[in-house]
Amino acid sequence: MATDSDYLDFVAELFAPLGGVAVRRMFGGAGVYSRGVMFALVVDNTLYLKADLHSKDDFEARGMGPFVYDAKGKPISLSYWQMPPELVDDPEEAVAWARKALTVAKAQKTATPPPSRRAQPTRRRR
């Protein structure tokens, strides 16, 4: 099942109060961004929010799990957890959860060092 455009439009509208919200398709799903920071993932019309070691407890308390995909027979779990489905009926609460996810995403983005740029040996010209 693919993620449909109507659902992506709904997600963009739901999270619009965060400001600068954009939804970009990727790998059969979509990333949800606020001002260039990805804080949510949509796959098969299911919404996942960015979580860390502390915020994942909120998801677990509601019976939600992480997004998991299969890579060559091995399950790979990402740090995006399913948003409780009942929150789509409560826009204020959904945005509150999204704000937490955005805070986590921003913190992880600033904590990640830039990729190293090792100098490549150059050949001397003769």
Over residues 60-74, mean pLDDT: 93
pLDDT at 120 over 60: no
Pairwise pLDDT comparison (88 vs 102), residue with the higher score = 102
Over residues 73-92, mean pLDDT: 93
Instruction: Show me where the domains of the chain are located.
Output: 5-111
Pairwise pLDDT comparison (57 vs 121), residue with the higher score = 57
Q: What is the DSSP string of the chain?
A: -PPPHHHHHHHHHHTGGGSSEEEEEETTEEEEEETTEEEEEEETTEEEEE--TTTHHHHHHTT--EEEEEETTEEEEEEEEEPPGGGGG-HHHHHHHHHHHHHHHHHHHHHSPPPP-PPPPPPPP-
Residue 113: its pLDDT value, please?
63
Over residues 10-35, mean pLDDT: 94
Over residues 67-74, mean pLDDT: 91
Domain 5-111 CATH class label = alpha beta
